[in-house]
Chains A and B, each alone.
Chain A
């Protein structure tokens, strides 16, 4: 985390959905430079304390770890707006379990910029004590921002046959690459000309292989995986990826 950051263009892998230009950032966030907007999905704050409540005392550092990485990418890209694409908190009571320093760190990130909490299945309602706007979905430049892909927008094609343009989270995509000599499994963005599914940003958020049957119906024309490596994002066609 402390290594000097390479030049920005090496950290990102970019394309567009409709008129909306976007870059897959090495951090796992989606950057919309023209909108000066940063999108992150599935932060799962306070997943650690949720498990602790069930008797499994896993390290309580997940929220601060996630916040530190979020802080780093916000400092680097200075967005005017941040959109958290749902499941920002691991459960309904997550916000009330936030530690004091984590709460302050979050407020610090929100200060001076717009903040949108999209609701997710883990956090269908968010308390008013949190700063920021709460919405089920929003739209920017004809693109819908929603937690669960393909939900609430009707069929994938609208009545006129034009594709729904959507940016979502929920599925926690990861890609498995097997090549001569070995295999590796990494978080990734799943992206087509009309849809982008972001990787989970949360420290304790697991992953679902993009070859899982949950993805195929969302990408009838196939998709590219923008795979997060150590120093850059690699664009790899989904047909080259492997099942778990």
Chain B
């Protein structure tokens, strides 16, 4: 694209740029030119390129040209994945508006906005409104939506790459389709970090795949200065605390102005925060920021950060996205990076200026993570991207949207179908499925038509669908959004009774943890919470009862699932290449090379496309360990399917465990011996046909499938959301989705919500897609090593055993074992 001349800018704006000593950048002018033509656009640029200003400049130019005494009307809508980002951008936008003397009303609208202000925003909207996908959905479901959005000219979608691959992206795409319908003159502008396939992202912005928006790409920027921290002491085989690297990290914090320390989970954040403070002899202002902290506390940290009062913040993915934290000059990433694009985003948080290099250190926490960090460094060097693929729109999200549309205005099914299929994720939606969704929203969509009288939307004589009553609209508003929070339990300090166990009720509440985390704890386990080491005593009603551990107690890290993000396929492939090629090991630290050498001597290292399978006995059990490097989710699914096969072969597996690199299955029978007797045993075990009947059968009873179904049921409005603070005893009143799932699959296996859950399973918690690719890759390429003891590579997996739910026959074995324990006790 030829560079438009600077004189494109109105004098007022040129003067403002000059007053700041800036020149408008090429891409900013390019977006301005496109806006003049009324065209939509996708801006792909690295951090620090002035993306946000580029997105808003056309709006401001347009608004400045209008009479200053005009009535305010909604001109531009800005959508951000984070409410904090919306607030931050609003603040940054006020500055040029004020300095140029533009009489603009710029407002934010988030879940925190008081209801009277939200109501006022509908009646008397600002010129520019900054909000989130959920708030947009709520506004579109408002009875005044048509009037509110009729004059909308621009919608700016920030961090679009982060939104589109999730269900929130589906929700937003439907909202966009609605906006295009309500505001025919609307132009959409997407702002994105560098992605693998910008074309696919551009498609998201338009209703017509034939007319793609212009793609404006900003390249260049200084190469990041990124290194891996080599610890002096050898790293452990497993674990994610990076404890031994803390002094080095503390030294880095001291040497820099402001450091962001990224970790993958809240638990890691707690640990790192505490360790840094233990070393903090200079009492540097170091803060903690993660999603479970009290909102007030998070706001305080953010404010202190912006004011430049902090030297370091230990944070989770909550700070991944583009909030401008001012003076960050160093990013430290602890643990595995998981994806090349993800790590580049995080690194971009340091130094928001395009022409200066971002500075970052990667800190592996165990020896495996060294490999992953090395692979990520290579990827950054090549500027390789591994952003995930887009996926077809989810049906549960569509159901939520359909109900919202009925809340706004009576709708015609044909017109709504046309509108919905104009959204990129739903372009392939067939009419029959759409009608199933309408029927689901109306009466549950069951073959047994028992709920006609409870219909939420009804079709009138005019052929239009409308909500039955205000109660339904209220229910919609309570449920809007696609983020399903985990059920939380309170962490409560108990008073000690004579027996040493806490007395239960009445103790102080320290905060909340996810119920699933609390369930993995055993009495006596110690864990970190809100910067303290606590001892867990048990769950009671809605609380996890804890006491403060005695001084000097080391917190045991009982549960770490590697965070939400599984290892990307791209990094996995790099890791496999490193393992396969000893010639590349000179790029690896000595302690890892030593581990790999020992693995090669004692067992084997697989060629890049091969699968290594090991069998060995240990502690009265026989283990089978495989290393596909396909991420935790795919491995869990594989573990489940292998367990089924072994059960059928009467090899009595007892359980399995999976991490990002591999999985281990164990049982009472010698699997190595079995492989020696039957040379096809291993290859048959990993045969591709496990994705056929085995999968179907297993899916039916899988706990992961049930969890997937629960998310769909909540989003689709089938069951109530759990809100923080609601008592756990509501479980007795409401219906467990596990029970609903069991009943539904027995009586109507083709129901639209089960279809939605299965579609999610393929890419979500079960990652079937990735598993299928792997199984086809390894056919005829499995190397089996029969060992007499655990191999060096297997150790990391063995250390994760003992925290997973077991399924099928293994659960039966457990019941029998518990029964036998009692018998033993009775007989002795």
Residues of A within 8 A of B (CB): 1, 47-49, 51-53, 55-62, 64-65, 99, 172, 177-184, 186, 203-206, 208, 227, 229-231, 234-237, 240, 243-244
Is the pair B451, A236 in contact by a Cβ cutoff of 8 Å? no
Is the pair B747, A59 in contact by a Cβ cutoff of 8 Å? yes
Is the pair B819, A58 in contact by a Cβ cutoff of 8 Å? no
Contacts of B703-719 to chain A: CB distance below 8 A: 717-719
Is the pair A51, B735 in contact by a Cβ cutoff of 8 Å? yes
Is the pair A181, B814 in contact by a Cβ cutoff of 8 Å? yes
Is the pair A57, B456 in contact by a Cβ cutoff of 8 Å? yes
- Asked if B736 is at the interface of the complex by the 8 Å CB criterion, the answer is yes
Q: Which chain A residue lies CB-closest to B441?
A: A57
- Asked if B697 is at the interface of the complex by the 8 Å CB criterion, the answer is no
- Asked if B677 is at the interface of the complex by the 8 Å CB criterion, the answer is no
- Asked if B448 is at the interface of the complex by the 8 Å CB criterion, the answer is yes
Q: Which residues of B contact A180 (CB under 8 A)?
A: 802, 817
In the complex, which of the residues B446, B475, B732, B815 has the most CB atoms of chain A within 10 Å of its own CB atom? B815
* Interface residue from B751, B802, B811, B815 paired with A59 (Cβ < 8 Å): B751
CA distance A180 to B475 in the complex (A): 43
* Number of cross-chain contacts by CB at 8 Å: 140
Task: Contacts A177-B815, A208-B732 given; indicate if A182 touches B804 (C-beta within 8 A).
Answer: yes
Q: Which residues of B contact A178 (CB under 8 A)?
A: 522
Is the pair B454, A52 in contact by a Cβ cutoff of 8 Å? yes
CA distance A203 to B519 in the complex (A): 25
Interface range for B: 35 or more
Q: Which chain A residue lies CB-closest to B469?
A: A55
- Asked if B739 is at the interface of the complex by the 8 Å CB criterion, the answer is yes
Is the pair A53, B747 in contact by a Cβ cutoff of 8 Å? no
Q: Which chain B residue lies CB-closest to A224?
A: B822
Contacts of B524-544 to chain A: CB distance below 8 A: 538-540
CA distance A64 to B450 in the complex (A): 12
Is the pair A65, B732 in contact by a Cβ cutoff of 8 Å? no
Is the pair B748, A243 in contact by a Cβ cutoff of 8 Å? no
Is the pair B740, A182 in contact by a Cβ cutoff of 8 Å? no
CA distance A183 to B802 in the complex (A): 9
Give the 3 A-B CB pairs with smallest separation, nearest first.
A57-B444, A182-B806, A181-B655
- Asked if B816 is at the interface of the complex by the 8 Å CB criterion, the answer is yes
* Interface residue from A47, A60, A64, A203 paired with B742 (Cβ < 8 Å): A203
Shortest Cβ distance from B146 into chain A, in angstroms? 25
Shortest Cβ distance from A218 into chain B, in angstroms? 18
Shortest Cβ distance from B750 into chain A, in angstroms? 12
CA distance A66 to B720 in the complex (A): 23
Shortest Cβ distance from A208 into chain B, in angstroms? 7
Is the pair B747, A57 in contact by a Cβ cutoff of 8 Å? no
CA distance A35 to B816 in the complex (A): 30
Task: Contacts A57-B451, A177-B814, A234-B815 given; indicate if A184 touches B805 (C-beta within 8 A).
Answer: yes
In the complex, which of the residues A47, A53, A230, A231 has the most CB atoms of chain B within 10 Å of its own CB atom? A230
Is the pair A181, B810 in contact by a Cβ cutoff of 8 Å? yes
Q: Which chain B residue lies CB-closest to A181?
A: B655
Is the pair B739, A234 in contact by a Cβ cutoff of 8 Å? no
Q: Which chain B residue lies CB-closest to A204?
A: B735
Task: Contacts A52-B454, A65-B746, A243-B538 given; indicate if A179 touches B817 (C-beta within 8 A).
Answer: yes
Bits for B728-741, please: 1 = Cβ < 8 Å to A, else 0.
Answer: 00011011100110
CA distance A206 to B732 in the complex (A): 6
Is the pair A181, B448 in contact by a Cβ cutoff of 8 Å? no
Shortest Cβ distance from A201 into chain B, in angstroms? 12
- Asked if B66 is at the interface of the complex by the 8 Å CB criterion, the answer is no
CA distance A59 to B735 in the complex (A): 11
* Interface residue from A62, A184, A235, A243 paired with B819 (Cβ < 8 Å): A235
Is the pair B539, A243 in contact by a Cβ cutoff of 8 Å? yes
CA distance A114 to B574 in the complex (A): 71
Can you list 26 A-B pairs, Cβ within 8 angstroms, ordered by A? A51-B735, A52-B454, A55-B472, A56-B718, A56-B720, A57-B444, A59-B446, A59-B743, A59-B744, A59-B748, A60-B446, A60-B450, A61-B744, A99-B448, A177-B818, A178-B522, A180-B802, A182-B810, A182-B814, A184-B815, A203-B742, A205-B739, A208-B732, A234-B816, A235-B822, A244-B519
CA distance A243 to B502 in the complex (A): 14
Bits for B27-54, please: 1 = Cβ < 8 Å to A, else 0.
Answer: 0000000000000000000000000000
Is the pair A53, B454 in contact by a Cβ cutoff of 8 Å? yes
Shortest Cβ distance from B479 into chain A, in angstroms? 10
Is the pair A236, B811 in contact by a Cβ cutoff of 8 Å? no
Q: Which residues of B contact A177 (CB under 8 A)?
A: 814-815, 818
Shortest Cβ distance from B308 into chain A, in angstroms? 46
* Interface residue from B519, B538, B743, B816 paired with A65 (Cβ < 8 Å): B743
- Asked if B551 is at the interface of the complex by the 8 Å CB criterion, the answer is no
Q: Which residues of B contact A60 (CB under 8 A)?
A: 444, 446, 448, 450-451
Shortest Cβ distance from B751 into chain A, in angstroms? 7
Q: Which residues of A contact B454 (CB under 8 A)?
A: 49, 52-53, 55, 57
Q: Which chain B residue lies CB-closest to A180?
A: B802
In the complex, which of the residues B448, B522, B739 has the most CB atoms of chain A within 10 Å of its own CB atom? B739
Is the pair A57, B443 in contact by a Cβ cutoff of 8 Å? yes
Task: Contacts A184-B806, A240-B818, A240-B821 given; indicate if A59 touches B740 (C-beta within 8 A).
Answer: yes
* Interface residue from A56, A61, A179, A231 paired with B743 (Cβ < 8 Å): A61
CA distance A205 to B448 in the complex (A): 21
Q: Which chain A residue lies CB-closest to B448?
A: A60
Is the pair A184, B444 in contact by a Cβ cutoff of 8 Å? no
Q: Which chain B residue lies CB-closest to A53?
A: B454
Apart from A56-B719, A182-B811, A230-B812, list 20 A-B contacts with CB within 8 A: A51-B734, A52-B454, A55-B456, A55-B472, A56-B718, A60-B451, A61-B446, A61-B448, A61-B744, A65-B746, A182-B805, A184-B814, A203-B742, A204-B739, A205-B739, A206-B731, A234-B815, A234-B818, A234-B819, A240-B821
CA distance A182 to B808 in the complex (A): 12
- Asked if B801 is at the interface of the complex by the 8 Å CB criterion, the answer is yes
CA distance A38 to B133 in the complex (A): 55
- Asked if B654 is at the interface of the complex by the 8 Å CB criterion, the answer is yes
- Asked if B70 is at the interface of the complex by the 8 Å CB criterion, the answer is no
Shortest Cβ distance from B814 into chain A, in angstroms? 4
Q: Which residues of B contact A62 (CB under 8 A)?
A: 743
- Asked if B471 is at the interface of the complex by the 8 Å CB criterion, the answer is yes
Shortest Cβ distance from B497 into chain A, in angstroms? 14
Is the pair B451, A49 in contact by a Cβ cutoff of 8 Å? yes
Q: Which residues of B contact A65 (CB under 8 A)?
A: 743, 746-747
Is the pair B801, A181 in contact by a Cβ cutoff of 8 Å? yes
Shortest Cβ distance from A115 into chain B, in angstroms? 24
Q: Which residues of A contact B736 (CB under 8 A)?
A: 204, 206
Is the pair A58, B718 in contact by a Cβ cutoff of 8 Å? yes
Is the pair A58, B456 in contact by a Cβ cutoff of 8 Å? no
Shortest Cβ distance from B824 into chain A, in angstroms? 11
CA distance A49 to B448 in the complex (A): 12
CA distance A58 to B735 in the complex (A): 9
Shortest Cβ distance from B701 into chain A, in angstroms? 10
Q: Which chain B residue lies CB-closest to A237?
A: B822
CA distance A235 to B427 in the complex (A): 55
Q: Which chain B residue lies CB-closest to A172?
A: B732
* Interface residue from B471, B739, B801, B810 paired with A55 (Cβ < 8 Å): B471
Q: Which chain A residue lies CB-closest to B537?
A: A243
CA distance A145 to B754 in the complex (A): 40
In the complex, which of the residues B717, B736, B810, B818 has the most CB atoms of chain A within 10 Å of its own CB atom? B818
* Interface residue from A58, A64, A99, A244 paired with B740 (Cβ < 8 Å): A58
Is the pair B747, A49 in contact by a Cβ cutoff of 8 Å? no
Q: Which residues of B contact A229 (CB under 8 A)?
A: 811-812, 815
CA distance A25 to B540 in the complex (A): 30
Q: Which chain B residue lies CB-closest to A213?
A: B540
Shortest Cβ distance from B503 into chain A, in angstroms? 12
* Interface residue from B718, B809, B819 paired with A57 (Cβ < 8 Å): B718
Q: Which residues of B contact A183 (CB under 8 A)?
A: 519, 805-806
CA distance A204 to B719 in the complex (A): 13
Bits for B539-581, please: 1 = Cβ < 8 Å to A, else 0.
Answer: 1100000000000000000000000000000000000000000
Q: Which chain A residue lies CB-closest to B728?
A: A244
Q: Which residues of A contact B806 (CB under 8 A)?
A: 181-184
Contacts of B773-828 to chain A: CB distance below 8 A: 801-806, 809-812, 814-819, 821-822
